[in-house]
């Protein structure tokens, strides 16, 4: 491509300006972006960062963060999603811009509750840790200067003078090692954690911190800044929520998942009602297994359960006729007679299939939606057992499903750390006897599909891959965000309609 000298100048100026805007591949995200972006870009940046943070979460509980496998997998994801992955790359303006903007979008979406804030903070911290530790020493210095954390390096003379004190006060540092490593003088306020853990030498109000511990200080600083920023953002949320374009987008980001859209089913009608009992044991995630068992035992499910389970069944392939037969057979074995079922419940099932009311073809709920919204109350069985069950009850349930004690311990540990979807992945591994499920779980229907794939020895693989071509960004029919520039979102509409459905479920 040929440029005139004027164009070349314009081009160079643009490149220069861009480098100035993002002088480092890494940042503390102190300044929000001010440029205008389209809603489509807004959505795609946010979804990509969410994908990245999910991978960060997954890797964080599967591998030690300093291992090569952790780093290799993370860098592969960063490259795939076009986020900065090479600290020295000069031409990654677009990646840095995406990193900056997407962080702020998710900050808006994930400041809305304590649970969301905690999750976001944890993943952003892990991502930052990895990137910071990948910087060369000179880039680290440059970055520290940029974020006003430049610490004074201890000169060779002073280091030699203090070598014995530094060696005895810094765990793991022999005299030789002290001589080899750079040490920095850090104000006590910045080194509280190291000071408390007795990991540094203190003199005249300064901690003498070895280079390898600097990341602790930087991370603490980042954590404090980000958690304050999240709290502040939460306070300004009411004004953001009044923006009718942003509100539905943000709501769905925090409830969103990044995976195939299960509203379009290619296997509709391929499952018979007789298969459901066996499938519920082999291939249903715990949330759906629990709902199915309750339905069989008590011949009834309350509203939340019927919505969650009914849409899941629709997602695995039950036709409307099958759904009507399935629910009716079960309900009339309880306290509901056929007439009452036809009048009270059949309408809502047809509604789920888009045959009544506004004729929306409802999408099965994602894990995030189940975990984050409409928690179960007394007498309810919907929700996510990893999130909503008492740990002791969860333990008993897992024992009754013959999960080995070591597996139960691992699951409960993940639950304790609030990694509910990872706990569910562990449950999948244990019930399918595999070491690594090889996918990131985001949706109960994904659990079912992957289970069927595995149990059928991969016979369904090709078909499923074809099915999963309708990824969220491509198929924004309902669960994901509407990327069109029109202010209304199909999601928002769908949600409003789902909420409106309550009217049809007056009988619990």
Residue positions forming the annotated binding site for [4Fe-4S] cluster: 287, 367, 384, 424
Rounded to the nearest whole angstrom, what is the least distance from the CB of residue 388 to ligand SF4 in the complex? Answer: 9
Residues 310/323, Cβ–Cβ less than 8 Å: yes
**Minimum distance of ligand SF4 from residue 384's CB (angstroms):** 3
Nearer to ligand SF4, 169 or 265 (CB): 265
Is 202 strand, coil or helix? strand
- Per-residue binding string, ligand SF4, 323-362, x by CB under 6 A, is ----------------------------------------
Closest CA to 384 of 414, 411, 437, 424: 424
> Among candidates 399, 251, 385, which has minimal Cα distance to 305?
385
Residue (of 431, 443, 425, 494) closest to 312 by Cα position: 443
Structure token pair of residue 500: 């409106």
Residue pair 368/120 in contact by the 8 Å Cβ criterion: no
> Which residue of 78, 249, 424, 498 would you call a contact of ligand SF4, by CB under 6 A?
424
Q: Do the Cβ atoms of 317 and 265 come closer than 8 Å?
A: yes
Among 25, 123, 360, 421, which residue interacts with ligand SF4 (rule: CB under 6 A)?
A: 421
206 or 309: CB nearest ligand SF4: 309
Tell me how far, at minimum, the Cβ of 446 lies from ligand SF4, in Å: 8
By CB under 6 A, the count of residues binding ligand SF4 is 14
Q: Which of residues 443-462 bind ligand SF4 (CB under 6 A)?
A: 444, 447
Among 84, 304, 315, 385, binds ligand SF4 (CB under 6 A): 385
What's the alpha-carbon Rg for the chain, to the nearest Å? 27
Nearer to ligand SF4, 303 or 426 (CB): 426
CA 494 to CA 326: how far, in whole Å?
25
Using an 8 Å Cβ cutoff, are 414 and 424 in contact? no
Burial class (CB in 10 A: 0-12, 13-18, 19+), 377: exposed
Least distance in Å: CB of 294 to ligand SF4? 14
What are the residue ranges of helices labelled H in 184-337? Answer: 192-196, 214-235, 237-241, 246-254, 276-282, 286-298, 303-316, 320-331
| Among 109-117, 129-137, 204-212, 379-387, the segment contacting ligand SF4 (CB under 6 A) | 379-387
Q: Considering beta carbons, is residue 226 or 367 the nearer one to ligand SF4? A: 367
- Report the site for ligand SF4 in 88-147 (rule: CB under 6 A): none
Strand order of the sheet with strand 206-210? Answer: 152-153, 183-187, 206-210, 201-203
Task: For 209, list phi and psi in degrees, rounded to 5.
Answer: -105, 125
3-state SS track over 296-339: HHHCCCCHHHHHHHHHHHHHHCCCHHHHHHHHHHHHCCCCCCHH
Site membership for ligand SF4, residue 370 (CB under 6 A):
yes
Among 132, 345, 386, 504, binds ligand SF4 (CB under 6 A): 386
Residue 449 bridge partners (DSSP): none
| Residues 271-300 contacting ligand SF4, CB under 6 A | 285-287
Question: If binding is defined by CB under 6 A, does position 420 make contact with ligand SF4?
Answer: yes
Angle at alpha carbon of residue 434, lines to 431 and 439, rounded to 5°:
100
For ligand SF4, the closer of residues 43 and 261 by Cβ is 261
Which region, judged by CB under 6 A, interacts with ligand SF4, from 117-125, 268-276, 408-416, 419-427? 419-427
Kind and range of the H or E run holding 157: helix 156-161
| Residue 173 or 427 having the CB closest to ligand SF4 | 427
Residue 384 makes contact with ligand SF4 by CB under 6 A: yes
Q: Rounded CA gap, 470 and 351, in Å?
A: 24
Binding to ligand SF4 (CB under 6 A): which residues in 173-212? none
Q: How far is the CB of 374 from ligand SF4 (least distance, A)?
A: 12
372 binds ligand SF4 (CB under 6 A): no
What angle, 0 to 180 degrees and rounded to 10, lies between the N-to-C axes of helices 93-109 and 214-235? 50
Task: For residues 306 and 302, give the distance between their C-alpha atoms in angstroms, rounded to a whole number.
Answer: 6
Min dist. Cβ of residue 305 to ligand SF4 (A)? 13
Nearer Cβ to ligand SF4 (250/286)? 286
Stretch that binds ligand SF4, among 138-146, 323-331, 337-345, 367-375 (CB under 6 A): 367-375
Nearer to ligand SF4, 42 or 386 (CB): 386
Structure tokens at 280: 């519920």
> By CB under 6 A, is residue 367 in contact with ligand SF4?
yes
Q: How far is the CB of 426 from ligand SF4 (least distance, A)?
A: 10
Query: Shortest distance, CB of residue 302 to ligand SF4, whole angstroms?
Result: 17
Sites of contact with ligand SF4 (CB under 6 A): 285-287, 367, 370-371, 384-386, 420-421, 424, 444, 447
């Amino acid at each position: 491509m040929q440029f005139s000298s004027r164009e070349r100048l314009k081009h160079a100026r643009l490149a220069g300006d861009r480098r100035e805007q993002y002088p480092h591949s890494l940042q503390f995200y102190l300044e929000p972006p001010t440029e205008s972006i389209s809603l489509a870009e807004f959505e795609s940046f946010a979804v990509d960062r969410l994908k990245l943070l999910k991978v960060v979460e997954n890797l964080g509980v599967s591998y030690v963060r300093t291992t090569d496998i952790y780093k290799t997998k993370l860098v592969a994801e960063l490259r795939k999603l076009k986020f900065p992955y090479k600290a020295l790359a000069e031409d990654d303006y677009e990646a840095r811009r995406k990193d900056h903007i997407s962080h702020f979008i998710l900050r808006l979406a994930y400041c809305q509750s304590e649970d969301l804030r905690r999750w976001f903070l944890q993943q952003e911290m892990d991502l930052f840790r990895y990137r910071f530790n990948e910087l060369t020493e000179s880039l680290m210095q440059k970055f520290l200067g940029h974020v006003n954390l430049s610490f004074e390096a201890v000169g060779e003379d002073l280091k030699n003078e203090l070598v014995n004190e530094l060696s005895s006060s810094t765990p793991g540092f022999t005299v030789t090692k002290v001589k080899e490593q750079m040490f920095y003088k850090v104000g006590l306020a910045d080194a509280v954690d190291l000071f408390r853990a007795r990991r540094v030498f203190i003199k005249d109000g300064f901690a003498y911190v070895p280079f390898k511990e600097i990341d602790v200080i930087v991370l603490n600083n980042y954590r404090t800044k980000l958690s304050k920023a999240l709290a502040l953002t939460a306070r300004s949320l009411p004004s953001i929520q009044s923006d009718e374009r942003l509100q539905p987008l943000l709501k769905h980001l925090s409830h969103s998942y990044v995976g195939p859209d299960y509203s379009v089913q290619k296997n509709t009608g391929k499952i018979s009602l007789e298969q459901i009992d066996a499938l519920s044991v082999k291939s249903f995630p715990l949330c759906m297994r629990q709902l199915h068992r309750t339905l069989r035992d008590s011949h009834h499910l309350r509203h939340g359960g019927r919505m969650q389970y009914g849409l899941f069944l629709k997602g695995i392939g039950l036709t409307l006729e099958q759904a009507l037969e399935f629910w009716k057979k079960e309900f009339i074995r309880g306290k509901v007679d056929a007439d009452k079922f036809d009048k009270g419940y059949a309408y809502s099932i047809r509604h789920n299939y888009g045959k009544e009311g506004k004729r929306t073809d409802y999408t099965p709920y994602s894990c995030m939606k189940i975990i984050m919204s409409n928690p179960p109350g007394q007498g309810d069985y919907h929700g996510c057992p990893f999130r909503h069950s008492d740990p002791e009850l969860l333990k008993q349930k897992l024992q009754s499903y013959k999960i080995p004690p070591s597996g139960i311990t691992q699951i409960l540990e993940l639950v304790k750390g609030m990694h509910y979807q990872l706990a569910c992945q562990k449950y999948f591994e244990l019930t399918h006897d595999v070491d690594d499920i090889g996918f990131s779980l985001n949706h109960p229907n994904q659990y079912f599909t992957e289970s069927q794939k595995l149990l059928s020895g991969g016979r369904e693989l090709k078909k499923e891959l074809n099915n999963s071509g309708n990824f969220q960004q491509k198929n924004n029919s309902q669960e994901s965000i509407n990327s069109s520039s029109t202010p209304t979102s199909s999601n928002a509409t769908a949600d409003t309609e789902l909420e409106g459905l309550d009217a049809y479920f007056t009988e619990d």
